[in-house]
């Protein structure tokens, strides 16, 4: 620092001699002023932190002096007296607000046994406007004692986003606690349906109390409520499968009669979220509940054929139909050829009608592989028809008219998928011939 001061003074003296005018430079004083400014800024930041920590909802009210004398007095006063702060909420109220929201949610879940759905809203003002516009007798009654956070009526619980954040913050560290006054795991799952720790807590509770018919019904109903808001939560579907399996081990229910209920649960989830792989995978697992009931499997084939024709770009539906088809072929071995012929004809008609959908080509690949795998001779009847079908899809003249940069065009995608399938078919045929030559 002394060397720096000497350099600055030497340069300043040179400038003063050259300009022939006085120049006063005090580096030490400038350094002290800058240090004081830094200290004042740090004190302001620390004071704001202490105020926000004491009460997050504090409102600062600054009073303006009436005249210049008051302004002078204000500047002369200490810094802590320049602002008068009015705290709307005390520290205790701020800390207990999340717990109050969690207790109210737990009360609604306990008292409303027929809850079917939960949802989140930005604000509850829309319900206040509806209640004001409707007559007293016609307006639905809100069962919640906190109308700013909840709206509970007609088997539905609506929560504001502020309430969701409060419940999530309160249950974050208490989710594994076993409390008699509040079901912490249920409250945590209402705001986060994929909370694995909360689902494990419910598993431990079921194992402790035992799984009977009433407990199974209530647990599946609760899972359905959570899936109404989080239809893609894998942990919720896994807990549903665990509950059914545990109930079967304890002899609490007949799994074959539970297939229709699981299909309805999957249908509700798919309506909420399209291309719901978690729901379709659960439905594929539920096929094992049917055992040898081939009539129910045949009904599933009929229903999924309608779904496939309605959603040609949904890979999940195609994957589920492949599982149903395999199950049907294992149960009804005498109808393998007729069923596979129907499937290959149906999927080729859909490919020609809706070009450029990769999901259809994936299912076409699956059906072709099953045909080849179940053939015991070298002459595969579907190979000539497959070659003709690929040539129809690879319309070179039609594709050449397209812009080369337009790679996502349906015709270009159709040709790309057809050429890929051609290589796949050649590889399957080669492996089939090698398997027969052994």
Q: Whose CA is closest to 324, among 266, 269, 380?
A: 266
The model's pTM:
0.72
Euclidean distance between CA atoms 101 and 362, whole angstroms: 49
Domain that holds residue 372: 293-438
In a 13 Å sphere around the CA of 417, the CA atoms on its Cβ side amount to 25
Q: Which pLDDT belongs to residue 83? A: 38
- If one counts the domains in the chain, the total is 1
Angstrom distance (rounded) from CA 38 to CA 211: 66
Distance (Å, whole) CA 375 – CA 373: 6
How much is the pLDDT for 72? 45
Whether residue 88 lies inside any domain: the answer is no
Cα separation, 160 vs 121, whole angstroms: 5
Closest CA to 273 of 219, 218, 227, 330: 227
Would you say residue 25 lies in a domain?
Answer: no
Residue 347: inside a domain: yes
Q: Give the Cα separation of 151 and 105 in Å (integer).
A: 11
Low-confidence ranges of the chain (pLDDT < 50): 1-2, 4, 7-8, 15-25, 55-95, 135
Q: What integer pLDDT is reported at residue 104 of this predicted model? A: 92
Residue 221 domain flag: no
What is the helix (H) or strand (E) element at residue 8, kind and residue range?
helix 2-19
Judge whether 312 and 302 are in contact, CB under 8 Å: no
Residues contacting 430, CB < 8 A, separation 6+: none
CA 269 to chain centre: 12
According to DSSP, the residues that pair with 157 across neighbouring strands are 118, 152
What is the tally of helices (H) and strands (E) in the chain? 19, 5
- What pLDDT is recorded for position 380? 65
pLDDT given for residue 233 in this prediction: 95
Give the integer Cα–Cα distance in Å for 262 and 273. Answer: 17
Asked if the structure places residue 315 within a domain, the reply is yes
Report the pLDDT value the prediction gives residue 209, as an integer from 0 to 100: 82
Q: What is the pLDDT of residue 163?
A: 92
Quote the CA–CA distance of 48 and 58 in Å, as a whole number: 11
pLDDT of residue 86: 32
Work out the number of other CB atoms within 10 angstroms of the CB of residue 326: 14
Residues sharing a CB contact under 8 Å with residue 217, sequence separation 6 or more, in sequence order: none
Within-domain flag for 181:
no
* CA dist., res. 294 & res. 296, Å (int): 5
The two structure tokens encoding residue 363: 């299912």
As beta bridge partners, residue 84 has 61
Asked, for residue 129, whether it belongs to a domain, the answer is no
13 domain-assigned: no
């Amino acid at each position: 620092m002394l060397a720096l001061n000497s350099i600055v003074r030497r340069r300043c003296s040179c400038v003063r001699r050259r300009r022939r005018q006085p120049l006063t430079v005090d580096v030490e004083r400038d350094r002290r002023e800058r240090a004081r400014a830094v200290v004042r800024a740090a004190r302001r930041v620390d004071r704001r932190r202490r105020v926000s920590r004491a009460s997050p909802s504090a409102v600062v009210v600054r009073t303006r002096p009436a005249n210049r004398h008051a302004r002078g007095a204000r500047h002369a006063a200490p810094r802590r007296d320049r602002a008068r702060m009015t705290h709307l909420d005390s520290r205790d109220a701020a800390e207990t607000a999340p717990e109050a929201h969690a207790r109210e949610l737990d009360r609604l879940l306990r008292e409303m046994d027929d809850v079917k759905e939960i949802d989140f809203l930005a604000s509850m003002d829309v319900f206040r406007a509806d209640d004001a516009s409707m007559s007293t007798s016609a307006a639905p009654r809100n069962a919640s004692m906190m109308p700013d956070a909840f709206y509970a009526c007609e088997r539905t619980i609506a929560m504001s986003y502020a309430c969701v954040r409060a419940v999530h913050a309160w249950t974050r560290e208490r989710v594994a606690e076993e409390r008699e006054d509040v079901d912490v795991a249920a409250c945590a799952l209402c705001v986060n349906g994929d909370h694995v720790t909360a689902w494990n807590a419910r598993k431990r509770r079921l194992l402790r109390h035992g799984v009977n018919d009433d407990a199974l019904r209530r647990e599946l109903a609760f899972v359905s409520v959570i899936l109404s808001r989080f239809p893609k939560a894998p942990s919720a579907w896994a807990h549903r499968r665990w509950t059914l399996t545990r109930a079967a081990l304890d002899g609490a229910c007949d799994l074959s009669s539970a297939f229709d209920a699981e299909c309805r649960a999957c249908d509700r989830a798919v309506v909420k979220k399209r291309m719901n792989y978690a729901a379709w995978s659960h439905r594929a697992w539920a096929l094992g509940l049917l055992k040898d009931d081939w009539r129910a499997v045949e009904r599933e084939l009929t229903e999924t054929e309608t779904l496939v024709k309605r959603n040609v770009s949904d890979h999940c539906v195609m994957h589920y139909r492949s599982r149903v088809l395999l199950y049907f072929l294992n149960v009804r071995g005498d109808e393998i050829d007729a069923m596979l012929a129907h499937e290959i004809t149906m999927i080729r008609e859909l490919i020609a009608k809706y070009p450029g959908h990769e999901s259809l080509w994936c299912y076409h690949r699956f059906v072709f592989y099953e045909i080849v795998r179940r053939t015991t001779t070298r002459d595969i009847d579907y190979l000539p028809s497959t070659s003709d079908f690929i040539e129809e899809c690879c319309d070179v003249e039609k594709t050449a008219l397209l812009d080369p940069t337009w790679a996502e065009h349906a015709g270009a995608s159709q040709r790309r998928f057809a050429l890929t399938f051609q290589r796949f078919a050649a590889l399957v045929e080669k492996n089939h011939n090698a398997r027969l030559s052994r």
